[in-house]
Chains A and B, each alone.
Chain A
Amino acid sequence: MAKTYDYLFKLLLIGDSGVGKTSILFRFSEDAFNISFISTIGIDFKIRTIDLDGKKVKLQIWDTAGQERFRTITTAYYRGSMGIMLVYDVTNEKSFENIKNWIRNIEENASADVEKMILGNKCDLEAKRQVSKERGEQLAVEYQIKFIETSAKDSLNVESAFYTLARDIKAKMEKKQKEASNPAGARSGGHQLRNEPQRKPTSWLSRCSLL
């Protein structure tokens, strides 16, 4: 089979229960919204291939259960992620406060140079808002992480959020490739080509992490 993409990026959605992680993913992967979502149990992922500056980038986006109790399981999936979306719900103060805990969680479990982004979801529910956009921006400045408010329901900024994260990963990867003096090193970046399949005995997780 012909190669269908140039890069494979593994992304992860995390955040408190009910902030809309699955809805954001559904909006991005299917461009649809369903009012009767169910809570995520365990872990799942969806795929979408996007075009980024002429390159086909396959995004494999993992969706996790939000409740703290399940973190021991979900953190197993942090390793190997190249980008993480931290999601809170602008109508839920607690979910915003917890972003700090989620960041700590990432620091403990994900690779150090993982690209991060904060999403304030449900910004269509203006009447119920508890967290102002300014506070979201402040937090982002504090942690040096990009931030955007989204609405999965109204399809607002979801696309651009994923594109931005993907673009940042790509830029970081290409920078690393350039830095590597050995041109052969350029091929061992954080991507795997479709047409060189499971020959490698190393773990899938390590294949995907940035070197």
Chain B
Amino acid sequence: MSRSSSLEDIPDQCKDLFTQDGVLLKACLGRPVTDLNSIGMLCIVQNPDQTKSIEWRPNDLITIDSDAQDQEWAVVNTIGITMSFAKGRRQRTLSGNITSDYATARARIIKISLDELKTFRVTRNNQQMQFSTKPGVWQTTFYFQHGNAEIFVAYLKNHIKTAKTRHDRNTYVVVEPNIESQVLNRSFAELDIFTENTTDVVWNLMSNLRQRPYETTMEAFSKLTDIVYYGNEGMNGKRDVSEEVADLLTKSMSAIEDSTTLTRTDEYEVISVKPTLPPRPSIPRGTPLSTEKWDGLQDTEGRVTEVEGVKQLIFRGGVAHSIRQSVWKYLLDYHPWHMTHAELRALTKKRTEEYFSMKLQWRSMTEGQEARFSEYRDRKSLVEKDVNRTDRTHPFYAGDNNPNLVILQDILMTYVMYNFDLGYVQGMSDILAPLLLLLGNEVDSFWCFVGFMDKIASNFDMDQAGMKLQLVQLQQLLLFASPELAQHLAQKDSGNMYFCFRWLLVWFKREFSYRDIMRLWEVLWTELPCANFHLLICVAILDAEKDILISKDYGFTEILKHVNDLSMCLDVDKILSTAEGIYHQVVSAPHLTDQIRVILGLPTLNISTSTHSESEQASTSKVENGTDRNERNMFGQDMDEGTLEYNGIQISIVTKTVWALLA
């Protein structure tokens, strides 16, 4: 069979990072009219000098035999010609004839360097996109025939920083990537919301909130998200005005939330007997554990004595980025808290030797051995596939032949030897990637990864029992903390909470930026304030979406879509604060059940309800089935009359019907 492609052989000078087909060139300054209205492919390309450009190539230049596409069962043309053009760029496999006036055709390529791009805008129902490298002139206009420009814009934003302009929501200004302070100033100026001083802004906002609560909040938040995002990237531990405003906003928002909850309850007469949760306290987040504090917490020989105190501090505010490398080793059980510097040095030496001996085990495997060792081969192939698609848009893992990918692979392969039975499971590379980025060292990253895996090993069970248990526990927590939402989900066939699978499997790694996931993880590693706090994080996220999910009457598919789309739109500090508030609500609820106590690792009392406590103790089989009577009550099944103690008052639980309404 002759080769249709020698793709791998062509030196990869220019590379298509993203391609969007079906893009019509509508207007282009300085181009003859004949060039217009032709269809092509709009790409984001990486140039040989590592700069990036937007490039549009007309289809007739790169025609694929379009008939082949329409023929059913078309044979793939195996005698196609591979052409490379535009500085030897790898191109599509061509099965048509290449015109001889190739140079003329090449001249029709439109290339806009990302360094020169100033603004772009998306109009006409998101189908039209215009670019400009000069203020005031839209030089090129493209029309997206297939779908719309949303995805292209999303990928473009991976490569440039943008801000939306104040006057026109559809216009994006490219923010110069190099000068951090300028970024902030410019975005502030363009957004024009910080011309007054911060306090004024917040007060204006507050007064607007009263009149138009929803719009005002959304508007303010969308602006703030932009600023916080663009302004603070890479400025760890440093608070600035935008963060403070965000904090103030968060606080005022929780106040408003509380009041609306109260109004809400007025809608239901039945509420008087409903075992409502106590009001949710609004607990502000603290500042990160600082270098000074951390130094002060170690004795002269390096032992950390106040372990609980350290964990409290970290739970409250996380860890300053500058000392994460050191602190994470403790949080991930690589460095025992009580060890002196000397002992840690000895430990590090021992662990380093251990690591490399395990690494040698797979490195020294011969081809023949490998060929006869299918279980090893399977694991290896899974690792390779996933390493190549782990966070490749992050600069640390981007580009071909990135040495960090090799380290990522080596650690995961060594982990396969460390725990061959578990092997490699998808999601592990997501867990490891931020660790390696932060620690930068292969051995440290490996042992910290081991520590993290120990915490979440059940997520990767062969039979997925750990995941299923967590999903059930999450449902039980939600039913207790946000019964209205739990009920809605159950009605929409989503009671199994499968739509939270990704959150749980990799501990929200796919939902947050690197900066935020580091904060979230270190807080969760403290295992405070209770067991399974990560499930309360889920409850907090869902509770914030409750109104949308219920009021729009989202069904099975919409719920999944909505939850998947929350990725990268979540505010980590707000969620942590809400989750902690929910924790306090739950544990101080008078009707707290043993079921919930067990999930949160609290001692059980066996007196959750007065009428059935004895039978509950006696019939362990019911509990084993995962259907203890509280749960059945909540679902309104098998419901007898009973009483419940609430605030010291005995409340009779009326009937099945009322419970169904309540739950």
- At the interface, yes or no: B103 with Cβ under 8 Å from chain A? no
Distance between Cα atoms of A124 and B9 in the complex (Å): 14
Task: With A17-B382, A32-B18, A127-B6 as known contacts, state yes or no: A41 contacts B493, CB within 8 Å.
Answer: no
Distance between Cα atoms of A157 and B70 in the complex (Å): 8
| Cβ-closest chain B residue relative to A28 | B146
CB-CB < 8 A to B147: which residues of A? Answer: 29-31
Task: Give the Cβ gap from B445 to chain A, nearest Cβ, in Å.
Answer: 20
Task: Give the Cβ gap from B601 to chain A, nearest Cβ, in Å.
Answer: 26
B72 touches A126 (CB 8 A): no
Distance between Cα atoms of A204 and B71 in the complex (Å): 35
Binds A, one of B123-131, B362-370, B552-560, B639-647: B552-560
| Cβ-closest chain A residue relative to B146 | A31
Binds B, one of A107-115, A148-156, A170-178, A181-189: A148-156
A73 touches B389 (CB 8 A): no
Give the contacting residue for A34; candidates B18, B68, B72; CB below 8 A: B18
Interface residues of B (CB under 8 A from A): 1, 3-9, 15-22, 64, 68-76, 78, 92-93, 146-147, 151-152, 155, 378, 381-382, 385-386, 389-393, 398, 425-427, 429-430, 460, 462-464, 467-468, 492-493, 496, 498-499, 501-502, 505-506, 510, 553, 555-557, 560-561, 564
A45 touches B426 (CB 8 A): no
| Cβ-closest chain A residue relative to B8 | A127
CB-CB < 8 A to B467: which residues of A? Answer: 73
CB-CB < 8 A to A148: which residues of B? Answer: 73-74
The 10 closest A-B pairs by CB, nearest first: A18-B385, A36-B392, A42-B501, A42-B502, A31-B146, A204-B556, A31-B21, A32-B20, A41-B502, A126-B5
Task: Give the Cβ gap from B489 to chain A, nearest Cβ, in Å.
Answer: 13
Give the contacting residue for B464; candidates A41, A66, A70; CB below 8 A: A70
CB-CB < 8 A to B19: which residues of A? Answer: 32-34
| Cβ-closest chain A residue relative to B94 | A154
Distance between Cα atoms of A185 and B505 in the complex (Å): 43
CB-CB < 8 A to A193: which residues of B? Answer: none
Task: With A29-B147, A39-B386, A205-B493 as known contacts, state yes or no: A45 contacts B561, CB within 8 Å.
Answer: yes
A157 touches B74 (CB 8 A): yes
Task: Give the Cβ gap from B70 to chain A, nearest Cβ, in Å.
Answer: 7
Query: Chain A: interface secondary structure?
Result: mixed
CB-CB < 8 A to B391: which residues of A? Answer: 38
A73 touches B464 (CB 8 A): yes
CB-CB < 8 A to A67: which residues of B? Answer: 382, 425-426
CB-CB < 8 A to B564: which residues of A? Answer: 44
B464 touches A124 (CB 8 A): no
B71 touches A94 (CB 8 A): no
Task: With A39-B386, A43-B560, A156-B76 as known contacts, state yes or no: A30 contacts B5, CB within 8 Å.
Answer: no
- At the interface, yes or no: A6 with Cβ under 8 Å from chain B? no
Task: Give the Cβ gap from A158 to chain B, nearest Cβ, in Å.
Answer: 9
CB-CB < 8 A to A70: which residues of B? Answer: 426, 464
Give the contacting residue for B7; candidates A35, A94, A124; CB below 8 A: A124
Task: With A31-B22, A39-B386 as known contacts, state yes or no: A72 contacts B464, CB within 8 Å.
Answer: yes
| Cβ-closest chain A residue relative to B78 | A126
- At the interface, yes or no: A65 with Cβ under 8 Å from chain B? yes
15 additional A-B residue pairs with CB within 8 Å, beyond A36-B398, A160-B70, A204-B493: A32-B18, A36-B389, A39-B385, A41-B501, A41-B506, A42-B501, A44-B564, A60-B557, A65-B426, A73-B464, A149-B76, A154-B93, A160-B69, A160-B72, A204-B557
CB-CB < 8 A to A76: which residues of B? Answer: 496, 498
- At the interface, yes or no: A198 with Cβ under 8 Å from chain B? yes
| Cβ-closest chain A residue relative to B374 | A94
- At the interface, yes or no: A145 with Cβ under 8 Å from chain B? no
A126 touches B3 (CB 8 A): yes
B64 touches A154 (CB 8 A): yes
A41 touches B17 (CB 8 A): no
CB-CB < 8 A to A157: which residues of B? Answer: 68-69, 74, 76
Residues of A1-60 at the interface with B, using a CB-CB cut-off of 8 Å, are: 17-18, 29-39, 41-45, 60
A204 touches B555 (CB 8 A): yes
Distance between Cα atoms of A184 and B21 in the complex (Å): 43
Task: Give the Cβ gap from B514 to chain A, nearest Cβ, in Å.
Answer: 14
A155 touches B21 (CB 8 A): yes
Distance between Cα atoms of A114 and B560 in the complex (Å): 23
| Cβ-closest chain B residue relative to A76 | B498
CB-CB < 8 A to B75: which residues of A? Answer: 133
CB-CB < 8 A to A60: which residues of B? Answer: 557
Task: Give the Cβ gap from A4 to chain B, nearest Cβ, in Å.
Answer: 15
Most buried by B among A17, A35, A123, A125: A35
**Scoring A residues 118 to 130 as 1 if CB is less than 8 Å from chain B, else 0, what string do you get?**
0000011111100
Instruction: List 26 A-B residue pairs with CB atoms under 8 Å apart, sorted by A's residue number.
Output: A30-B20, A32-B151, A33-B19, A34-B18, A35-B16, A36-B398, A39-B390, A39-B426, A41-B426, A41-B427, A41-B505, A60-B557, A66-B426, A69-B464, A72-B468, A92-B381, A94-B381, A123-B76, A124-B92, A127-B6, A151-B76, A160-B69, A160-B71, A160-B73, A204-B493, A204-B557
